[in-house]
Structure 1
Amino acid sequence: MGTDNIMAHADDAFQSSNQDDWDMQRLGKTQQLKRNFRFYSILGFTTTLMATWESILLTSTYGLTDGGRAGMVYVYIASFVGFFAAVISMAEIASVAPTSAGQYHWVSEFGPPRAQRFLSYLTGWLSVLGWQAAFASICFLCGTLIQGLLVFNYSGDTGYVYDYHRWHGTLFTIAIAAIGTLINTYGAKMLPSLEIVILGLHLGGFVAVLVPMWAMGSGTSTNYEVWREFSNSGGWPSMGLACLVGQLTPIFSWTGPDAATHMAEEVQNASFVIPWCMVSTALINGALGFVILITMLYTMGPLADVLDPASGFSFIPAVNHATGSMAATNGVAAIILVMEVCSAISILATASRQTFAFARDKALPFSKTLAHVNKRTQIPIVSVLVSTIITVLLSLINIGSTAAFNAVASVMIAALFTTYILSIAAFIRARILPGGIPPSMFSLGRLGMPINIFAVAWLCFSIIFTFFPTANNPTPVDMNWSILVFGVVIIFAIVQYLLHGARLYEAPVTQVRKTE
């Protein structure tokens, strides 16, 4: 019996290897990275990268300000429907073309011939810069959470008051980036096994946070308050608009479903594992996020007590009210901090692989160096280090202005959403052509077209509100300047295409081999 199992596993491994080899040949790429991720390790990678239940708590201030309790509930549900449509749309495309290049390859292969080269290059730049901003953003979020905990513990009658300085946040940001870099370089071989452990922490941490909030709760909100009481603390002209602005909380919590794709060349049986990993991640994180959201809304106490907290995070006073214990609140915050650091590790891996892939197609300055893969570790170490350096440099902006740093970091959502729109739209075009789309191991079948169209419509609608400030009539400091930064990024990408890409960029479609 044991021999039969061994032979079965060997046969599965052989078939997976053959499929991966066939995929790489069709895509016209040489296998350079080691395929040491399997389903559960890449599932741990993506679920902890998105860290949805943790991010729901961390970014709850946005939703509570614009929409209130009921607004957060219904916006979460509605947003998940649109988000899931986008995820399964990209999962099908990833099954057709499982490559670290991700969206810019998809736009190149399935986009209109006359525009595919430019649109692919633009998509690549947006994806690269979006993931670089994502790493800077998550590191800064961890840093400011540490500062928030210091404010929470050392203020009022504690005898010592923490003296808040922006440069403290910068140093914390650099420290988190350094941890992510060490794991992604010296600990690269252990990363797949580590991700399985982190998946356990992600699920166990959820239970560890959920139980005390329910068990220690001294008082709960009514059903009416949670399900029917809306709030418009941002001062928007209508409650509907307030709720739409507040969708930044779930949107931020779900950013990065394409992460698995950028690790595709390190995953065994990628054309099957990657799409199912994306779907599983969305379902798991969507469910955990909803449960933790409802828990917080029922146990947080009066809304006014958690808005505009001294710590900068509404979940801290909310958890403190639910548990009635500073120790329990610190414990919950510590779990979230650890999980967000784990998320930073995965985001750095994703950012470096996207940079590596784009450089491999000669799209970036110093492409040869950025695309170099270390023969001993079989990872693009230069791209990892450059990604870290970018975050360190961006974090210095915070010393002069937190608002300026937030503007740079917040462009992440708009940039990545734009790449999702372009890639799914290109796939819609491929569907209506006479030849249709190539066969894949994950297919939406006849539902593909309506799901794709709905996904693009939702993404186009949602991206508009990522540019809104938290409150109506904001001051220059409170203004959301991400629209300005996004515009600069677009202009920068166009200039780069004219100066560099038009001459040297090797569009992926030119390397794809047609199959019957």
Structure 2
Amino acid sequence: MTRSVDKEMISQEVGVGATTQDDWDMQRLGKTQQLKRNFRFYSIFGLTTTLMATWESILLTSTYGLIDGGPAGMVYVYIASFVGFFCAVISMAEIASISPTSGGQYHWVSEFAWPKYQRFLSYLTGWLSVLGWQAAFASICYLCGTLIQGLLVYNYSGPDGWLYTYERWHGTLFTIAIAVIGTVVNTWGYKILPPMEGLILAIHIFGFVAVMVMMWVMSPDQPQASGESVWKEFTNSGGWSSMGLACLVGQLTPIFSWTGPDAATHMAEEVQNAALIVPWCMVSTALINGSLGFIMLVTLLYNMGNIADVLNPASGFSFIPAVNHATGSVAATNGVAAIILIMEVCSAIGILATASRQTFAFARDDALPFSKHLAHVNRNTQIPVCSVLVSTIITVLLSLINIGSTAAFNAVASVMIAALFTTYILPIAAVIRVRFEPSGIPPSRFSLGALGLPINVFSLAWLCFAIIFTFFPTANNPTPVDMNWSILVFGAVVIFAIVLYIVHGRRVYRAPVTQVRKVD
């Protein structure tokens, strides 16, 4: 149950960089302002937009959609998935406006879920959110590392150059290097992070324009695909029982490209005027990235050449031969890949910031081992340095798995989407429950109004449907190496969280709802 207090009883003393509304929100939520609010709309918008890096991810993960669904399948699945994704984003944006806290989904579940299950569901949501963001950081660092390896294979193999031998331990070293870069920026470079995110946003937009223009006009002699093949050609290279099923499995490409719409929420306690800025940032990020991603997808499909020539490339990335065909230039292909690599490294910086804040918030409620240390905020930097360093160490340790087995590492990394989707499902379901209560949901500065309930229901249905296909392998009847083992890892984490709650969490976990003040 929440504590009740008159609004006049809440102090109006403003924290560092906070508005009066921010201070009031924090006190209503029962939290102390510990982090400096040095993010404004443009800087937090830059962090979330480049963190998702949708147009870059469309190119990087295009292999999945090309195998399962083909050109037309990718187009229509992208459009349909975006509708569901956008409804989920605006549903969470409204909740974020009600409770703008770094805890995000686990706090929302604690505040709005069924009273009998609030504490347990909140604890489970928190663990899945921590897992999802830690896996996201490991995944993006590994993706950058393997992209570097892919470029080495592309440039230094064959008769014109020395032969580069692809080794798994090389990928691990590159992964660790990217993680270290993210750590340096998030600790020693903490002062430049907000303005740097604004600069990165500009690079994200101008890089998109540069890549798109190169692919359309640089090599007019290269044949472009016809509208018939782009909009009507479906493929089922994965061997699924029907074309419809193949397209649904192929939606992993757009889903992966939209990972992390809740990032702004976990940075909320560092955003000025968070109750208004955070939800609008989430909505703006979804619209901008969704549009750029679709334009880049169409650009790729028209200019990539024969689909058979871009699948199973030696570099491991289908976009490299696709861009090479579109531009007819090795230098241009390297330039495009370099832009994508830079943007993905910037994405890693934002993901580490988000992952560390999620870890900090959950530890603040005594939910994690060594919570006292993980929730500690450095007085000089006003950031949770310990949570940043622990997040980096986790990625370094996970990257070592790749030396022994890439499949085992992928199993851990790929659980990211399922874990994060689950943390979207639970709070939206909880808010639907509250809407049927006489008092309804609390007022917010970003409101869906009368459309709230149908949007919530639709987004919940889409999330439950989409999460099923995140557990599918790329092809039917996979070998053990090609199998998607994320469901095993996901199940193990859920079981671990349940057991930990029973033996430890239920005694020490301070559910956020017990600290929230209901304003009369």
Tell me the TM-score range normalised by the shorter chain: over 0.9
- Residue among 89, 93, 96 paired with 1:94: 96
The more displaced of 492-501 and 45-54 is: 492-501
The one-letter amino acid of 2:517's match is R
- Residue among 367, 382, 401 paired with 1:363: 367
How does 1:333-352 map onto structure 2 within 5 Å?
Answer: 333-352=337-356
- Residue among 61, 75, 85 paired with 2:77: 75
Quote how far apart the aligned CAs of 1:14 are. 12
Distance 1:385 1:15, change over 3 A: closer
Q: Any idea what the Cα deviations from partners look like across 1:430-481, whole Å, max 9, x if unmatched?
A: 1111111111000000000000000000000000000000000000000000
* Alignment RMSD: 1.2
Q: Residue in 1 aligned with 2:424?
A: 420
Q: Residue in 2 aligned with 1:141?
A: 143
Q: Residue in 2 aligned with 1:173?
A: 175
How does 1:269-308 map onto structure 2 within 5 Å?
Answer: 269-308=273-312
- Residue among 511, 514, 520 paired with 1:507: 511
- Residue among 150, 160, 167 paired with 2:162: 160
C-alpha separation in 1, matches of 2:509 and 2:370: 12
C-alpha separation in 2, matches of 1:417 and 1:117: 20
Q: Does the alignment pair 1:433 with 2:414? A: no
The one-letter amino acid of 1:398's match is N
Q: Residue in 1 aligned with 2:224?
A: 220
Q: Percent identity?
A: 80
C-alpha separation in 1, matches of 2:504 and 2:344: 36
Quote how far apart the aligned CAs of 1:117 are. 0.3
The more displaced of 136-145 and 491-500 is: 491-500
Q: What secondary structure is seen at the aligned counterpart in 1 of 2:517?
A: coil
Q: Residue in 2 aligned with 1:10?
A: none
Q: Residue in 2 aligned with 1:354?
A: 358
Q: Residue in 1 aligned with 2:234?
A: 230
C-alpha separation in 2, matches of 1:359 and 1:93: 22
Q: Residue in 1 aligned with 2:466?
A: 462
Q: Any idea what the Cα deviations from partners look like across 1:64-92, whole Å, max 9, x if unmatched?
A: 00000000000000000000000000000
How does 1:369-448 map onto structure 2 within 5 Å?
Answer: 369-448=373-452
C-alpha separation in 2, matches of 1:233 and 1:81: 26
- Residue among 260, 264, 267 paired with 1:263: 267
Quote how far apart the aligned CAs of 1:155 are. 1.4
Runs (4+) of structure 1 exceeding 3 A deviation are 13-16
Q: What secondary structure is seen at the aligned counterpart in 2 of 1:188?
A: coil
Q: Residue in 2 aligned with 1:8?
A: none
Q: Does the alignment pair 1:243 with 2:247? A: yes
- Residue among 44, 50, 61 paired with 1:48: 50
The one-letter amino acid of 2:459's match is A
Quote how far apart the aligned CAs of 1:157 are. 1.8
The one-letter amino acid of 2:472's match is F
C-alpha separation in 2, matches of 1:432 and 1:86: 19
Quote how far apart the aligned CAs of 1:159 are. 3.0
TM-score by length of 1: 0.97
The one-letter amino acid of 2:448's match is L
Q: Any idea what the Cα deviations from partners look like across 1:370-422, whole Å, max 9, x if unmatched?
A: 00000000000000000000000000000000000000000000000000000
- Residue among 112, 115, 127 paired with 2:114: 112
Q: Residue in 2 aligned with 1:127?
A: 129
The one-letter amino acid of 2:505's match is G
Distance 1:378 1:397, change over 3 A: same
- Residue among 185, 188, 191 paired with 2:190: 188
Unaligned segments of structure 1, at least 5 residues: 1-12
Q: Does the alignment pair 1:206 with 2:208? A: yes
C-alpha separation in 1, matches of 2:379 and 2:184: 18
- Residue among 461, 480, 490 paired with 2:494: 490
C-alpha separation in 2, matches of 1:159 and 1:374: 50
The question of whether the paired residues in 1 share the 8 Å contact of 2:357 and 2:384 is answered with yes
Unaligned segments of structure 2, at least 5 residues: 1-14
C-alpha separation in 2, matches of 1:278 and 1:247: 22
Quote how far apart the aligned CAs of 1:156 are. 1.8
C-alpha separation in 1, matches of 2:409 and 2:39: 34
How does 1:26-45 map onto structure 2 within 5 Å?
Answer: 26-45=28-47
Q: Any idea what the Cα deviations from partners look like across 1:109-146, whole Å, max 9, x if unmatched?
A: 00001001000000000000110000000000000000
Quote how far apart the aligned CAs of 1:189 are. 1.2
The one-letter amino acid of 2:181's match is I
Q: What secondary structure is seen at the aligned counterpart in 1 of 2:399?
A: helix
Quote how far apart the aligned CAs of 1:211 are. 0.7
- Residue among 149, 152, 155 paired with 1:150: 152
Number of aligned positions between the proteins? 505
The question of whether the paired residues in 1 share the 8 Å contact of 2:44 and 2:281 is answered with yes
The one-letter amino acid of 2:121's match is L
- Residue among 310, 314, 331 paired with 2:314: 310
The question of whether the paired residues in 1 share the 8 Å contact of 2:236 and 2:243 is answered with yes
C-alpha separation in 2, matches of 1:42 and 1:387: 21
C-alpha separation in 2, matches of 1:15 and 1:190: 16
The one-letter amino acid of 1:49's match is L
C-alpha separation in 2, matches of 1:170 and 1:479: 21
The one-letter amino acid of 1:163's match is T
C-alpha separation in 2, matches of 1:500 and 1:31: 27
C-alpha separation in 2, matches of 1:342 and 1:356: 21
Q: Residue in 2 aligned with 1:60?
A: 62
Q: What secondary structure is seen at the aligned counterpart in 2 of 1:31?
A: coil
Quote how far apart the aligned CAs of 1:16 are. 6.5
The one-letter amino acid of 1:146's match is I
Quote how far apart the aligned CAs of 1:515 are. 1.2
